[in-house]
Amino acid sequence: MQLFLESFWPIVWGGITGTIPLALASFAIGLVLALAVALMRLSRNRVVSGIARFYVSVIRGTPLLVQLFVIFYGLPAIGLVIDPWPSAIIAFSLNVGGYAAEVIRAAILSVPKGQWEAAYTIGMSPSTALRRVILPQAARVSVPPLSNTFISLVKDTSLASLILVTELFRVAQQIAAFSQQFMLLYLEAALIYWLFCLALSGGQTRLERRLDRYVAH
């Protein structure tokens, strides 16, 4: 019990300074990429939509761990060496981009076509209509699945420990290696991940309720 209490804050701190920043940075970059890919998927240009479809297929069809290893361990074989933190951010961002792109695409398609026509009627260009009319409505639809994607990403950041990124699970590994209390430390890490996810789920619920105020029922 003493080891549990003594290690609790260092592991939590590893989550605050490592896991959460890594997840936030990767998610933000991934969302930008996902929006671009979603718009490419909706393009009438077959080449553009084909490239986007291929990217989504590769990301969704390969394990995140393999993607991470290709970037950190594979790229040096062709002379491109990337440090652990940037490697993790690149891998997680690309992964989020592949999954979130389909969420955003579906959300955009869920907006009635009449909204586009109404925007054109008042003189908006396609890009203005997308930015000012379509995306705000699509954002409300995409909040729940994108929130779930972020919560999953927080847990997936534990894979970054395999390329020596110091985050929550890496700290737990280091303490476990020193104390030889692997079961205790790994269960403690699992508990802390769970607490983090509970807090994020609570935030997701409040965000959805807040957005519901602006939706007619």
Looking at residue 120, its pLDDT comes to: 80
Residue whose structure tokens are 């029922």: 217
- Between the alpha carbon of residue 91 and those of residues 64, 97, 197, 204, the distances in Å are 8, 10, 21, 24
CB 147 within 8 A of CB 207: yes
CATH for 1-213, options being 2.40.50.140, 1.10.3720.10, 3.40.50.300, 1.10.10.10? 1.10.3720.10
CB 111 within 8 A of CB 84: no
| Mean of the per-residue pLDDT values of the chain | 91
How far is Cα of residue 55 from the mean position of the Cα atoms in its chain? 16
Looking at residue 1, its pLDDT comes to: 78
CB 156 within 8 A of CB 67: no
Dihedral sign for Cα atoms in the order 141, 153, 60, 127? positive
Looking at residue 2, its pLDDT comes to: 85
Q: Encode pLDDT of 164-204 as tens digits.
A: 898 999 999 999 999 999 999 999 999 999 999 999 999 88
Residue 172 structure tokens: 């737990």
Q: Encode pLDDT of 51-78 as tens digits.
A: 999 999 999 999 999 999 999 999 999 9
**What is the spatial distance between Cα 163 and Cα 200, in angstroms, rounded to a whole number?**
26
| pLDDT higher than threshold 50 for residue 217 | no
* Higher per-residue confidence, 137 vs 45: 45
| pLDDT higher than threshold 90 for residue 130 | no
The domain segmentation of the chain, as residue ranges, is: 1-213
Average pLDDT over residues 106-123: 84
**What is the spatial distance between Cα 140 and Cα 104, in angstroms, rounded to a whole number?**
10
Strands (E), 55-214: none
Q: Encode pLDDT of 15-57 as tens digits.
A: 999 999 999 999 999 999 999 999 999 988 999 999 999 999 9
Residue 111 — very low, low, confident or very high, per pLDDT cuts 50/70/90?
confident
- Quickly count helices (H) and strands (E) in the chain: 10, 0
- Between the alpha carbon of residue 195 and those of residues 48, 68, 190, 192, the distances in Å are 42, 26, 9, 5
Looking at residue 141, its pLDDT comes to: 85
Average pLDDT over residues 85-94: 97
Looking at residue 208, its pLDDT comes to: 76
DSSP of 75-95: GGGGT----HHHHHHHHHHHH
DSSP of 114-131: HHHHHHHHTT--HHHHII
Residue 143 structure tokens: 């909040």
| pLDDT higher than threshold 80 for residue 79 | yes
Average pLDDT over residues 133-138: 84
Residue 123 — very low, low, confident or very high, per pLDDT cuts 50/70/90?
confident
